[in-house]
Amino acid sequence: MRLNKFRIGVVARALLIAATFAAGYELWRATDSLAALAAGAALGAAQLYWLFATIDAANRDLKRFLDAVRFRDFSQAFDRAEWGESFRELNESFAEIMSDFRKERERGEEREQYLRAVVGRVGAGLISFDDAGKVDFINPAAVELTGMRELTRLSQLRAASEELANVIAAAEPGESRLAAIERKEGRRVLAVRVARFSLRGRILTVCSLQDIGPELERERMTRELEIARQTQARLFPVRFPDRRGCRVAAIHEPAKEVGGDYYDFAEPSDDRLVFVVGDVSGKGAPAAMYMTLVKGVFLASAGARRSPSDALAEFNRLLRGVVDPGSFVTALYVDLDCRTGEFSLARAGHNPPMRYRAATGEIEELKPGGVGIGMANDERFRETIEEATGTLEPGDALLLYTDGAVEAGDPATELYGEKRLGESFLRHVALPVGEAIEKIRDDVANFGDAPRPRDDTTFLLVKRDLGS
């Protein structure tokens, strides 16, 4: 309404000025009087002053409006009566626009806070800089990796690592490079990757730094453990003895890359076979080291004509001073004549072997006494060690194993145990020895929910042929 009045007033005053000047001119021509011309000019000037005053008042109103918009964030109410309907409509539009603007700004601020939190807490170091080398930001991870708390120029990185600064400067987007940096806590190897993008006409580079030292160390340890695993695998027999009247098979599965279980055999004569199954307390590399000592002692003593109890006593004498206090070795030593089936065995704290009698279809455990190797002095060891003797008739079998077989499963619920192992032995003993021992191994492995055995597991099965 006010705007319309302003327009009408301006037009009316313009017409009135024109009419005033025209009337003054005609009066001057009719009367030839300068006084009439002066009066008309004065009246026209007054009308012009009135016109300019009206426009100036309108300008002041407009300035007040614009000042309200600029300094009050569109929150000024423009629906007062003197502003008119047009300003009320404009106020409503501005209010709606500003409401949307505030919501979007709040969402933008939330996203910015989220991104800042992510950048601040991400494990990789991040450094952003422009083409001139001016650093825009460096996150806490990059500060920790480089030790540079006040980094404003990329060139300052040379104080921490000349190599790292050169790698960052030369790295191309998408490629990964390695750089070393020396810190007080030790040398670190960093993987460096860069990405470039344009932001408001500026070319920015974001460099990520990742400490891969732990990964390299794990890779090195994995390679060394693989070498140890391959080396230990060579300590086990590569073939099984082939004697008329006897069939032999064995399986060894370490709980880790290397283990402390051990089995081996020797052939002192054409008819005789000597077997040993051992278990070093503990797992992993230390147990594997002691296992190599057991093999050396076994090979050194197996050729001599010793009884199983004398052989284990020799084991104890040689190993007792080598094995750490608190560690020990359990072992089972068997001497078998494949021609007659006669055997003798001694047990140094080891799991009792199981014997299958084909004539009765029954399983029995052989339990001669004896303590673990390294747990007693030589005299005490000889006092405790006992021997068991017997004969494997045609079709009979002897199963030697380590405690990983019977301790499979969850200790909090139920272990596999000797009873289940005996049932598995009985169930598969009629098969050829190679198949039988694999079936027994599978029965143990499939028991419970454990993804892998908790302890090293070893089986050795010797069976006397039917008709021998």
pLDDT digits (tens, 9 = 90+) for 5-59: 656 666 666 676 677 666 666 666 666 666 666 766 677 677 677 767 777 776 7
Name the nearest CA neighbour of 221 among 195, 172, 258: 258
Residue 112 has pLDDT above 80, yes or no: no
- State the Cα–Cα distance between residues 396 and 391, nearest whole angstrom: 9
Instruction: Considering only residues 33 and 154, tell me which one the structure prediction assigns the higher pLDDT.
Output: 154
Tell the residue number behind the tokens 């499979």, with chain if given.
Answer: 408
CB atoms within 10 A of CB 315: 24
Tell the residue number behind the tokens 């929150």, with chain if given.
Answer: 75
Q: Which helix (H) or strand (E) holds 211?
A: strand 202-211
Query: Going by C-beta distance under 8 Å and a sequence separation of 6 or more, which residues neighbour residue 424?
Result: 439, 440, 443, 444
**CA dihedral (37, 41, 43, 47) positive or negative:** positive
Q: Which phi and psi angles does 202 have, rounded to 5°? A: -105, 140
- State the Cα–Cα distance between residues 179 and 166, nearest whole angstrom: 9
- The DSSP annotation for 63-113 comes to HHHHHHHHHTTT-S---STTT-HHHHHHHHHHHHHHHHHHHHHHHHHHHHH
- Per-residue pLDDT averaged across 239-249, rounded? 83
- The pLDDT of residue 7: 61
CA distances in angstroms from 159 to 127, 135, 166, 179, 183, listed in the order given: 16, 15, 12, 14, 12
- The pLDDT of residue 288: 67
- Per-residue pLDDT averaged across 62-89, rounded? 55
- State the Cα–Cα distance between residues 416 and 413, nearest whole angstrom: 10
- Per-residue pLDDT averaged across 428-434, rounded? 93
- The pLDDT of residue 71: 45
Q: Token digits for 317?
A: 């004498």
CA distances in angstroms from 400 to 80, 330, 366, listed in the order given: 103, 13, 10
- The DSSP annotation for 225-249 comes to HHHHHHHHHTTS-SS---BTTEEEE
- Would you say 385 and 369 are in contact if contact means Cβ atoms under 8 Å apart? yes
Residue 411 has pLDDT above 70, yes or no: no
- Per-residue pLDDT averaged across 279-283, rounded? 72
Residue 82 has pLDDT above 80, yes or no: no
Q: Token digits for 11?
A: 């037009």
**Chain CA centroid to CA 206, Å:** 24
- Would you say 435 and 429 are in contact if contact means Cβ atoms under 8 Å apart? no
| Answer CATH for 222-464 from 3.60.40.10, 3.50.50.60, 3.40.50.300, 3.30.2130.10 | 3.60.40.10
H helices of 332-468, where? 378-384, 403-406, 417-428, 433-445
- How do 186-199 and 202-211 pair as beta strands? antiparallel
CB-count burial class (<10 Å; 0-12, 13-18, 19+) for 98: middle
- Would you say 400 and 460 are in contact if contact means Cβ atoms under 8 Å apart? yes
- The DSSP annotation for 163-182 comes to HHHHHHHHPPTT-EEEEEEE
122-211 maps to which CATH number?
3.30.450.20
Query: Going by C-beta distance under 8 Å and a sequence separation of 6 or more, which residues neighbour residue 461?
Result: 248, 249, 250, 397, 398, 399, 400, 433, 436, 437, 440
Residue 83 has pLDDT above 60, yes or no: no
pLDDT digits (tens, 9 = 90+) for 312-365: 998 888 888 777 777 788 999 999 999 999 999 999 999 999 999 999 999 999
pLDDT digits (tens, 9 = 90+) for 125-135: 888 888 888 88
- State the Cα–Cα distance between residues 76 and 67, nearest whole angstrom: 10
- Would you say 338 and 393 are in contact if contact means Cβ atoms under 8 Å apart? no
- The pLDDT of residue 74: 46
Q: Which of 139-153, 224-238, 332-346 has the highest mean pLDDT?
A: 332-346
Name the nearest CA neighbour of 209 among 188, 227, 231, 192: 192
* Domain range summary for the chain, segments of one domain joined by +: 2-71, 122-211, 222-464
Q: State the helix-helix crossing angle for 284-302 and 308-319, rounded to 10 degrees.
A: 130
- State the Cα–Cα distance between residues 440 and 62, nearest whole angstrom: 98
- Would you say 146 and 164 are in contact if contact means Cβ atoms under 8 Å apart? yes
Residue 166 has pLDDT above 70, yes or no: yes
**Residue 250 forms beta bridges with which residues?**
460
Q: Which phi and psi angles does 463 have, rounded to 5°? A: -135, 135
pLDDT-based confidence at 137, cuts 50/70/90?
Answer: confident
- The pLDDT of residue 158: 86
- % pLDDT > 70, the chain: 70
Please measure the distance between the N-terminal and C-terminal CA atoms of the chain and give it in whole angstroms: 126
